[in-house]
Amino acid sequence: MEDAVSAYDALRGLGVGPMNIALYGESLGTAVATQLCERRKVKALVLESPFTSVVDLGKLAWPLLPLKQIMADQFRTIDRIGSIGVPLFIIHGGRDAVIPLDMARHVFHAANEPKTLTVLPRAGAITTSSNKGAWARVNTFLEGLDGLEAESAAETQGPARAGRRVEIPAAAGAER
């Protein structure tokens, strides 16, 4: 969480405005991105293969362990997602053997509008870096936000100003 806050604050320090920042979390990173979204202002939140909580996920592999009692940070996305007030995009593989699709659906149903759930029916555990179809859908969502922002600004404040995109490689990518 501290790394996520530092990365966000570094972007802001470079002059990137909050409405030019979309948070993107994959797997465990979905819980971190959701927590950061509660703490900092952003344009949107993208969750790739989210889970309800680490405890719920752990129970699938170790049903007899008292995970709820022994885990300090349970990464309970299901408890936090309802406080998020920015556009949400969830993408998940229909055949994901690691994080069940039902968990993504629970997160989706607990979230506020505007929200979108995209399921890639034949995909297992997806990563946008290896599944171009997944990235195309995420990119379409992000591009659509720019269009909505422009329409909203034109209606309320006159012409919209284009923001600049900044991409920071995810720390998780370095582990692969």
pTM of the model: 0.79
Is the pLDDT at 110 greater than 60? The verdict is yes
User: CB–CB of 138/91 below 8 Å?
Assistant: yes
The C-alpha atoms of residue 168 and residue 33 are separated, in whole angstroms, by 14
Q: Over the stretch 23-34, which tens digit does the pLDDT of each residue have?
A: 999 999 999 999
Q: Give me the pLDDT at residue 174, please.
A: 38
Dihedral sign (CA 37, 43, 49, 52): positive
Q: Over the stretch 75-90, which tens digit does the pLDDT of each residue have?
A: 899 999 999 999 999 9
Left (φ > 0), alpha (ψ -120 to 50) or beta: where does 150 sit?
A: alpha
Q: What is the rounded average pLDDT of the residues 128-143? A: 78
Which DSSP state fits 128? T
- Structural domains of the chain, ranges and CATH numbers in brackets: 2-167 (3.40.50.1820)
